Amino acid sequence: MRRILLCVCLMVTGQLVFGNTKTVIRSIIISGNSSFTTRQIQDIMILKPLSILSTTQLTQDVQSIYNHYYRNGYYFIDVTIDSLVFYNDSSLVDIKLNLDESEQVKLGSINLSGNTSLKSDEILTKFDTKPGMFLVPEVLVEDIDLLIAVYENAGYPFVKVDIVNIAPFRNDTSVVLRLDISIDEGKQVTVDEIRVIGNKDTRTSVIIRETRFRLHEIFNQDKVSGIRARLNRMNIFSSVEEPELYTDSNVSGLLIKVEEGNTNTFDAIIGYAPGATASEKGVVTGMVNVSMRNLFGTARKLNVRWFREQRRSQEIALQYVEPWVFDLPVNVSGGFIQRQEDTIYIRRSFDLKADLLLTESFSLGGTFTQENIIPSSTTNLIAKSQTVSAGIELQYDTRDDILNPTGGVYYRSDYKIGRKSYSNQTTTVHRLSLDTDFFVTVFQRQVAMFGLHGRSISSGSIELGDLYRLGGTNTLRGYRENQFMGSRIAWTNTEYRFLLARRSYFYGFFDTGYYYLPGDDAKSLSSSQSFKYGYGIGIRLETGLGNIGVGFAFGEGDSFLQGKIHIGLINEF
């Protein structure tokens, strides 16, 4: 290595003598190599013939050659820069490298010391670094990181793992390496208390409950690392810091620092869609959503929503969530929805759901639903009916934030089966739904989102009130709210977001949608299906008035004047 540095210094001196003229590499000559061809070694290097000479890059290339040989068991390799031969007043240079490969050596033994809570065999079986293989430094570092994680999850957060010796020795047949690793486990730590700082309205017991730690439970680093994300997903804190472990001679615990945000939101959305023809008036749509996410500081939730997508159609919905019933990991919720569909019918739905929180990210739910369709006295397009159904729901959520995730997955699916009674008849109804969203940080302050969603109903009698609706702000942008209907619908949402602040971002999007509308044999109507797409741009900004979102979307074949504008305001109070 000293010879490398000496040669680099000579190179710099040579360049200073000849001035600032850029030197082009005429050739790279390698000698002394036998295990790898000259072409293979040159492929490792960034510098190539006809490229500009860089002393810094040459040093990095030499290190890359060392690393390549190390990974293949040549731990005593020596790489030297024999000479730099300049031509034409330093405009051209020949680089000559000499390699002394020495002997290829495998790992003979791994010796552990200091471990008492974990057996050596138990540790070494998890290592990818094993005797009889070549010692790859990067793999050994990963093995040690894994070992530290195992100890931390077993209650040893202060464990230290050091490589104390790597030395060759000769066994009966050849020279091999001896690897000695020292482990200082430290003492095993339990979480004897949890302190919370910064909460004013939220009860401390509610926050401690979300940590999923019981007092005097053994410390687990993975569990601690998930606390911040779990508290953020409650959507009642403006900031949550990583929990801090503290310990003394008598007690150990976790310190959690939070800053409460506004837990009540007023969400108003206004949309405008121009008429399909020049004589047709445009349609103003709207939605008002009032959400209280932390009633009495207990994380109880109450949501009220009013929605109107056209002049004679509107919807009102209420939902209440009671978390951790009887201090068990069970959330119980109930809801009511009433929808008036033009002058054709009214649909009322009552539902009750219980979610068992199996882990901090995964829950299993059971649902019960009663739905009534009440047709207008002026229409015979739909029959009066009642559907009673029960089902199961799966939910998985690893998002790091609810409103503006930068990573994680949200998955929800449910299946319901029920009996529909209508016109003195009964039939079985099957419903299936799926929602999946993926969030990935691509570059700093840039997030890609992809969502896949689907709905399906099958029954011996599918009427207008049973159909799903597609189109608009929350499904297929670029089209009017609920513009399409079908017994099967599916849509995707793809967004690329440029983060401007914690709750502000600019984005471009591309949506696709599909719907299938079954035929009506009684009216000689055949089934139909179609695929649609929409695209556009939008921005969401956190302001003094609230979180304002504006989107401009185009549907398939739309001109600029046919674009749809959606304006949203989330005002926290």
The CATH code of the domain that includes 61 is 3.10.20.310
Which residue pairs, CB below 8 angstroms and at least 24 apart, start in 321-328?
Answer: 323/298, 323/299, 324/209, 327/209
Pair 437, 370 in one domain: yes
Mean pLDDT for the stretch of residues 214-224? 93
- 19-35 confidence digits (pLDDT tens): 456 899 999 999 999 99
Give 171 or 92, the one with higher predicted confidence: 92
Mean pLDDT for the stretch of residues 423-447? 94
Least confident span in 60-64, 120-124, 389-393, 556-560: 556-560
Query: What pLDDT does 13 receive?
Result: 37
Distance (Å, rounded) from C-alpha 59 to C-alpha 95?
12
Mean pLDDT for the stretch of residues 173-198? 92
- 493-508 confidence digits (pLDDT tens): 999 999 998 788 999 9
Query: What pLDDT does 525 receive?
Result: 60
Radius of gyration of the chain measured on its C-alpha atoms: 33
pLDDT band per the 50, 70, 90 thresholds, residue 142:
very high
Query: What pLDDT does 404 receive?
Result: 85
Query: What pLDDT does 21 receive?
Result: 61
Pair 415, 297 in one domain: yes
Query: What pLDDT does 7 receive?
Result: 41
The percent of residues above 70 in pLDDT, for the chain, comes to 92
Decide: residue 128, CB within 10 A, 0-12 exposed, 13-18 middle, 19+ buried.
exposed
Query: What pLDDT does 393 receive?
Result: 97
Pair 114, 234 in one domain: no
Distance (Å, rounded) from C-alpha 489 to C-alpha 455?
5
CB 347 within 8 A of CB 372: yes
Pair 517, 535 in one domain: yes
- 490-544 confidence digits (pLDDT tens): 999 999 999 998 788 999 999 999 999 987 655 556 788 999 999 999 998 876 6
Pair 354, 495 in one domain: yes
Residues 6+ apart with CB under 8 A from 532: 476, 479, 484, 512, 513, 514, 555, 556
The conformation of residue 21, written as its DSSP 8-state character, comes to: P
User: Domain range holding 285?
Assistant: 264-572
Pair 552, 440 in one domain: yes
How many angstroms separate the Cα of 373 from the Cα of each of 154, 345, 388, 465?
Answer: 56, 7, 12, 7
Number of structural domains (the chain) is 4
pLDDT at 107 over 80: yes
Would you state the torsion angle of the CA atoms of residues 67, 71, 77, 83, taken in this order, to the nearest 10 degrees? Answer: -40
Pair 248, 368 in one domain: no
Query: What pLDDT does 4 receive?
Result: 38
Among 517, 499, 515, residue whose Cα is nearest residue 507: 499
Among 7, 11, 43, residue whose Cα is nearest residue 28: 43
Residues 6+ apart with CB under 8 A from 161: 144, 147, 148, 181, 182, 183, 184
Query: What pLDDT does 269 receive?
Result: 72
Place of tokens 């000695």: 180
Would you state the torsion angle of the CA atoms of residues 94, 95, 101, 106, taken in this order, to the nearest 10 degrees? Answer: -130
Pair 131, 255 in one domain: no
Q: Name the domain boundary from 150, 184, 218.
A: 184
Decide: residue 242, CB within 10 A, 0-12 exposed, 13-18 middle, 19+ buried.
exposed
Residues 6+ apart with CB under 8 A from 85: 93, 94, 96
- 293-350 confidence digits (pLDDT tens): 899 999 999 999 888 777 678 889 999 999 999 989 999 999 999 988 877 889 999 9
Query: What pLDDT does 100 receive?
Result: 93
Helix (H, G, I), strand (E, B) or coil at 542: strand
pLDDT at 8 over 50: no
Q: Name the domain boundary from 184, 202, 235.
A: 184
The conformation of residue 88, written as its DSSP 8-state character, comes to: T
Give 190 or 289, the one with higher predicted confidence: 190
> What is the 3-state secondary structure of 185-209?
CCCCCEECEEEEECCCCCCHHHHHH
CB 97 within 8 A of CB 79: yes
Distance (Å, rounded) from C-alpha 502 to C-alpha 490?
31
Pair 338, 486 in one domain: yes
Pair 135, 254 in one domain: no
| CATH code of the domain containing 493 | 2.40.160.50
Q: Name the domain boundary from 142, 160, 184.
A: 184
pLDDT at 386 over 80: yes
CB 310 within 8 A of CB 511: no
CB 242 within 8 A of CB 228: yes
* Separation of CA 264 from chain center: 26
Pair 155, 276 in one domain: no
> Which tokens in the block code for residue 335?
């809801």
Pair 473, 507 in one domain: yes
Task: Supply the mean pLDDT for the chain.
Answer: 87
Mean pLDDT for the stretch of residues 418-434? 93
Distance (Å, rounded) from C-alpha 145 to C-alpha 138?
11
